Chain A
């Protein structure tokens, strides 16, 4: 295995392990401050949005609408919202994206 990959995986493993382990081991009686709880509750939405939206509207560092991505995304948003299926969303997205490739 490449050294950089080993460092990456062990590092990722460590920072994944600590938030899972430390509270279970030490903070079992601690009540979280409401502020921290509220802030953390928005983290997943914020970070996932930051991953998703630039895919549709940027190309490198340029702002540019990516029509194939954007048009494929709309049915996936709707499907995920109604059906809540991870695997179904992936398959639908791939199918629509693939079909759009013939039109655009």
Chain B
């Protein structure tokens, strides 16, 4: 284990920690409101460790949606990590599988974004990534457990808390809009989701919309490329 590489990783994690602590606390508070115990909150943050999926899961739990559908939705949300993980693999050669398992389990959008710009220049890459990602996950687990406890102390009502989740998702959505194609996929998905929710009983509208709208995104891209 290379100590300086690990320390450098810990240092680079600080911006991520600043982001994860408050969002983790928000998760803890909302998860308690959805009926999870503080232990379940910490357990989920430790074993799942995926922000958007965890927020979606507690939303679906409070709607009474069964575990299988939640797991399926989680799977689809996290498919995007396939690309990031492939990108990481370029820099992580000759590393034993158990360590690779740990490094990949802790990979998030944020740790990927920070690490991918640093990894080419780092000599001890596994310790660096371990330091970066362990610190980040500690902030996420710690934040969510703190939020869960805080929530049981205050039993927060009002203060706009019902809008915390929608606001978070609006911001996550806006951050994903990087070009005109994304914008139109958002419009299509917005219309489709309202229609499907109205037309089809149950909660299949999220997955139906995701498949249809991303398919439309591919078509839009193909048509626009042909015409340009």
Interface residues of A (CB under 8 A from B): 1-2, 4-5, 7-13, 15-17, 19-25, 27-28, 30, 32, 35, 37-55, 57-58, 61-63, 69, 72-73, 76-77, 80-81, 84-87, 89-90, 92-98, 101
Q: A17-B105, A24-B92, A45-B176 are in contact. Are A90 and B85 (CB under 8 A)?
A: no
Interface of B is mostly: helix
**B215 and A55 within 8 A (CB):** no
Q: Report chain B residues within 8 Å CB of A77.
A: 170, 174
Chain A interface SS verdict (over half): helix
Interfacial chain A residues near B103, Cβ < 8 Å: 24
Chain A residues closer than 8 Å to B43, beta-carbon distance: 1, 9
* A39 adjacent to B78 (CB under 8 Å): no
- Given A62-B198, A93-B167, A97-B163, decide whether A46 and B78 contact each other with a Cβ distance below 8 A: no
Bound CA span A101–B189, Å: 28
Partner-A contacts on B (CB < 8 A): 19, 22-23, 26, 36-37, 39-40, 43-44, 47-50, 52-54, 56-57, 59, 61, 67-68, 70-86, 88-90, 92-93, 97, 100-101, 103-105, 107, 158-164, 166-177, 181-182, 185-186, 188-194, 197-198, 201, 205-206, 209-215, 217-218, 221
Whether A42 and B217, one on each chain, are in contact in the complex, defined by CB atoms closer than 8 angstroms, is yes
Asked if residues A46 and B83 are in contact (CB atoms below 8 Å), the reply is: no
Given contacts A42-B182, A50-B213, whether A11 and B167 have CB atoms under 8 Å apart is: no
User: Are A50's CB and B210's CB within 8 A?
Assistant: yes
Q: Are A49 and B48 in contact (CB under 8 A)?
A: no
- Report chain B residues within 8 Å CB of A17: 104-105
Residues of B within 8 A of A94 (CB): 159-161, 163-164, 167
- B37 to chain A: which residues have CB within 8 Å? 1
A13 and chain B: residue at smallest CB distance: B47
Contact B74 A19 (CB under 8 A): no
The answer to whether B83 and A86 have CB atoms under 8 Å apart is no
Q: How long is the Cα–Cα vector from A37 to B191 in the complex, in angstroms?
A: 24
Assembled-state Cα–Cα distance A37/B218 (Å): 10
Residue contacts A-B, CB under 8 angstroms, 13 given: A8-B57, A15-B71, A20-B85, A21-B104, A28-B89, A30-B86, A40-B80, A42-B182, A46-B209, A72-B166, A73-B170, A93-B168, A94-B160
Q: Which residue of B lies closest to A11 (CB)?
A: B71
A22, A50, A80: which contacts B175 (Cβ < 8 A)?
A80
Give me 18 other A-B pairs in contact (C-beta within 8 A), A20-B85, A80-B171 excluded: A11-B74, A16-B78, A20-B107, A42-B214, A45-B214, A46-B189, A47-B189, A47-B206, A50-B189, A50-B205, A50-B210, A50-B213, A81-B174, A86-B19, A86-B175, A87-B19, A93-B163, A94-B163
